[in-house]
Structure 1
Amino acid sequence: MARNASSGLAGSEECKERFLEMKARRTHRFIVFKIEEKKQKVTVEKLGEPCQSYDDFASSLPDNECRYGVFDFEFTTP
């Protein structure tokens, strides 16, 4: 994955693959990404199973550390 021009961080290929799986096949309810400062890249820290909830996602985030996350929220419109 290419480096972000503003941050200088590169995302791992796994980040891209897992996001595309979630988007196209809905294989994950959520993905938590972590910045590995020593490696200067973004990695996948946790994948949520399709049956997991938003509360599961929120509880997987650490209290005192930064993370990025994507959650597949299901909703119905009238």
Structure 2
Amino acid sequence: MELKRRKVHRYVIFKIDDRREEIVVEKTGAPGESYDDFTASLPADDCRYAVYDLDFVSDDNCRKSKIFFISWSPSDSRIRAKTIYAVSRNQFRHELDGALRDPSNWP
């Protein structure tokens, strides 16, 4: 909610804890951080969930913001991690329903 309403974070990266009991915040990005900062924060060999707040200017020259849910699953990650993240993705997205815009359009 801080990301959506108060613009406190540019992004939030989540991970499943080592005991596989809960999803925890691993890292948050300051409002001034870029997309490159965000992608550099994602591990090359492990899965994560993330929420990214993109600011942009529309075709009619209006400043807008859109929040994206990202399920990060690189090819170098373990099969077990990919499975655990895939199985828990829908439940986690459901938990974020109130924080994100129009979750019915998520892939």
Q: Scaled by the length of structure 1, what TM-score is found?
A: 0.72
Structure 1 unaligned blocks of 5 or more:
1-19
State the Cα distance separating 1:22 from its structure 2 match.
Answer: 0.6
| Structure 1 vs Structure 2 CA RMSD | 0.9
Structure 2: stretches of 5+ with no match in the other structure: 61-107
Higher strand share: 2
The question of 1:44 aligning with 2:11 is answered no
Q: How many angstroms apart in 1 are the aligned matches of 2:3 and 2:56?
A: 16
When the two structures are superposed, what TM-score results if normalisation uses the length of structure 2? 0.53
> Match of 2:34?
53
Q: Point out the structure with max Rg over C-alpha.
A: 2
> Structure 1 residue 37: deviation in Å?
4.1
Where relative contact order (Cα < 8 A, 6+ residues apart) is larger, the structure is 1
**Displacement of 1:64 after TM fit?**
0.4
1:34 equivalenced with 2:34 (yes/no):
no
Could you tell me how far 1:39 is from its partner in structure 2?
4.7
Give the 3-state SS of the residue equivalent to 1:38 in structure 2.
coil
Greater helix percent: which structure?
A: 2
Query: How many Å separate the matches in 1 of 2:12 and 2:35?
Result: 11
Distance of 1:26 and 1:42 partners within structure 2:
22
Percent same amino acid at aligned positions?
Answer: 46
* Cross-structure match for 1:15: none
Paired residues for 1:6-21 under 5 Å: 20-21=1-2
